[in-house]
Structures are given as structure tokens and as C-alpha cells.
Amino acid sequence: MIRYALACDQAHEFEGWFARAADFDAQAASGLVECPLCGSRTVRKQIMAPALAGARKRGQDTISAGAADGRRQVMMEAMAHVRRHVEDNFDYVGDAFAREARAIHEGKSEDRGIYGEATPAEVKGLVEDGVPVAALPPEPAKKSDLN
């Protein structure tokens, strides 16, 4: 796997993981690489230093609390964006998710994006059968529920 630092035309920075170096170029050319914050498909690779095992700069062994909180906030916003995108653009199928995902995969139902609920056993069966599924990010915590 290759990790790239990416940025969209709106200056949002994020990471992407690809099986091979050529995969980013092919997926970006096909419009498959999308900014998780704004949905822009104008995404480019950023300059990255190679990751070297055991290489640490003196005095930089830990991330400052402020930087960690900022990164956490960016990740939470990205996850909320993904969830909103799915809820706004995909069909909700409730507890029929596993059955409908399998039907779409087998060509027995209209090819479309869906979301819903499935048991761990149903998800395991879908994955074992090669049906592409992913967990939907959790709903963001309500400010009233936080301490």
C-alpha cells in the first residue's frame, strides 16, 4: 500500500491509500478520488518525505495536544461529511441491507448506492462473497450529550 498526502482545489488536505503508484493517477483521471470535506474531485498529490523506520527528530516524539485536537476535529468533520453524503445521495433500505446489497452485486437489482443496517454475521457473509460494503461513520455526538 502507498499513502499519499493529497489536497483538493479548495486547499483541504487529506490522505489517500492506494495499492500501487499508478492507481492514484488512474482513479483521479476517472473522477474517483474525492475530497472528504467538500467533495471536490480536483485532487492532486502533495510533496511528501518518505517514511523511514526509526527516523525521529529530537524533541518531536509526541504530537502537541493542540495539533492532535485539530487533527481529530478535521477527521470528525470528514466523517460527518461522508455520512451526510451517503444519507443525501444513497437509498435507505433499513434492515434489508444485506439482501439488497447481494441482489445489486448479483445484478438482480438496480445498481445504486444503498445504506441500512446489517448484523455482523450478514456483513461477514457479504465480505466473504466479495460484495463491496463499508461501515457508515457514526453520527456525530450532539453537543448536548457532551460533557
Within a domain: 144: no
Query: Domain count of the chain?
Result: 2
Within a domain: 142: no
User: Residue 103's pLDDT is what?
Assistant: 96
User: Residue 65's pLDDT is what?
Assistant: 63
Question: Distance (Å, rounded) from C-alpha 82 to C-alpha 113?
Answer: 13
Within a domain: 127: yes
Q: Which residues does the chain have with pLDDT short of 50?
A: 61
Within a domain: 141: no
Place of cell 499513502: 3
Within a domain: 76: no
Within a domain: 91: yes
Residue 24: domain span: 2-45
Within a domain: 71: no
Within a domain: 97: yes
Buried b (16+ CB within 10 A) or exposed e, 11-35: ebebebebeeeebbeeebeeeebbb
pLDDT digits (tens, 9 = 90+) for 45-68: 887 766 555 555 555 545 566 667
Are both 129 and 85 inside the same structural domain?
A: yes
User: Residue 54's pLDDT is what?
Assistant: 57
